[in-house]
Amino acid sequence: MTIDKAAYSGMNRRDFVAVAAASVAAILLPRSLAATSLAEFNQQHNTIEMKERDMATITLKNGTQIYYKDWGPKNAQPIAFHHGWPLSSDDWDAQMLFFLANGYRVVAHDRRGHGRSSQVDTGHDMDHYASDASAVFEHLDLRNAIHVGHSTGGGEVARYVANYGEPQGRVAKAVLIAAVPPLMVKTEKNPDGTPIEVFDGFRKALAANRAQFFLDVPSGPFYGFNRPGAQASQGVIENWWRQGMTGSALAHYEGIKAFSETDQTDDLKAITVPTLVMQGDDDQIVPYRDASLLQAKLVKNATLKVYKGFPHGMATTHADVINADLLAFIKS
């Protein structure tokens, strides 16, 4: 067989492979059969790709697609991870790999408007977050599950467990890591909360230059890299930026209201399953005195662990410690 190099000039790799395959098929098979086989192959290949994509998402009744990961033995006890703002399920890499290696089934989804889920223009509130999560877990039929939520994901866990998980009998335990409940913003009933001006500043910075804002947050307070002597990880910073910029600016903008102004006192009071409350006392994003200390008082069956000097993103910066404590709690 002689190859005409000029015919292949300017082709990308995918085009080259397709043409090469056609050439080989033309030599080895009768002309009509070769054409039919290649057409069938392409059709089957595209169908497989569509099925693989469909397996990674569920489509809600309103057309919103929620992306999820589901790793490990389907008969193993499931651990479901709920990510923080403005990130995605990728933020749980260190935990998902750890618990997968320990024999658990691990599941995580991208919240609507975040990561690989639909960038819809509605529903960026805690009610929809919990409802979307419930749809994923019902689709996967998760039972006897441990639900772990970080920051905004902790609020999602609280609302999900209170309104869906426990009533449906699907939840065994819950974990709140540096979580936002019961209420972040300062009000007359919550005088120790964070002033609304702080969250207005978040909105202003996001609208003005989201890309820069999403570098400033992980470079500074989120992981405590702004503390004297802290060793910043450029990879961690860029991974935070990557996850944030993958999502929707609108979802992130409206999500600030969701995580800061949603009163979840009743959600916490409704939770009865064993709950581990974890937070660092150097959390510069969610003040622990107005978060984990109150969560431990409001949840009926709570265990509190406060980590000296740990930042808001401690599940990443101190994954070895957090993973070990999570495993001990799950096995207890």
- Cβ(291)–Cβ(179) below 8 Å: yes
The pLDDT, as a whole number, for residue 137 is: 98
User: Bridge partners of 276?
Assistant: 175, 303
Tell me: pLDDT of 207 over 50.
yes
* Between 33 and 213, residue with greater pLDDT: 213
Q: Which of 30-34, 67-71, 115-119, 290-294 has the lowest mean pLDDT?
A: 30-34
pLDDT: which is higher, 35 or 77: 77
Q: What is the DSSP letter of 185?
A: B
- Out of 27-31, 121-125, 128-132, 267-271, pick the least confident: 27-31
Which pLDDT value is given to residue 31?
41
* Average pLDDT score, the chain: 89
Pick from 258, 243, 209: which is nearest to 313 by CA?
Answer: 243
Q: Which range has the worst mean pLDDT, 35-39, 160-164, 241-245, 315-319?
A: 35-39
Pick from 196, 216, 221: nearest CA to 283: 221
Angstrom distance (rounded) from CA 173 to CA 240: 28
Tell me what pLDDT residue 40 has. 53
Looking at per-residue pLDDT, the higher value among 79 and 55 belongs to: 79
Q: Can you give the pLDDT at residue 128? A: 98
Tens digit of each residue's pLDDT (9 = 90 or more) over 234-254: 999 999 999 999 999 999 999
pLDDT tens, 39-60?
453 454 343 343 444 459 999 9
Between residues 26 and 136, which one has the greater pLDDT? 136
Is 312 an annotated catalytic residue? yes
Any idea how long the chain is? 332
- For the question of residue 283 being annotated catalytic, the response is yes
Question: Which pLDDT score, from 0 to 100, does residue 55 have?
Answer: 53
pLDDT for the residue numbered 225: 98
Q: In the prediction, which pLDDT does 50 show?
A: 38
Per the annotation, the verdict on 117 as an active-site residue is: no
Coil/strand/helix, residue 24: helix
Q: Which of 151, 219, 248, 292 is catalytic?
A: 151
Task: Name the active-site residue from 91, 110, 267, 283.
Answer: 283
Q: What is the pLDDT of residues 165-204, one digit of tens each?
A: 999 999 999 999 999 999 999 999 999 999 999 999 999 9
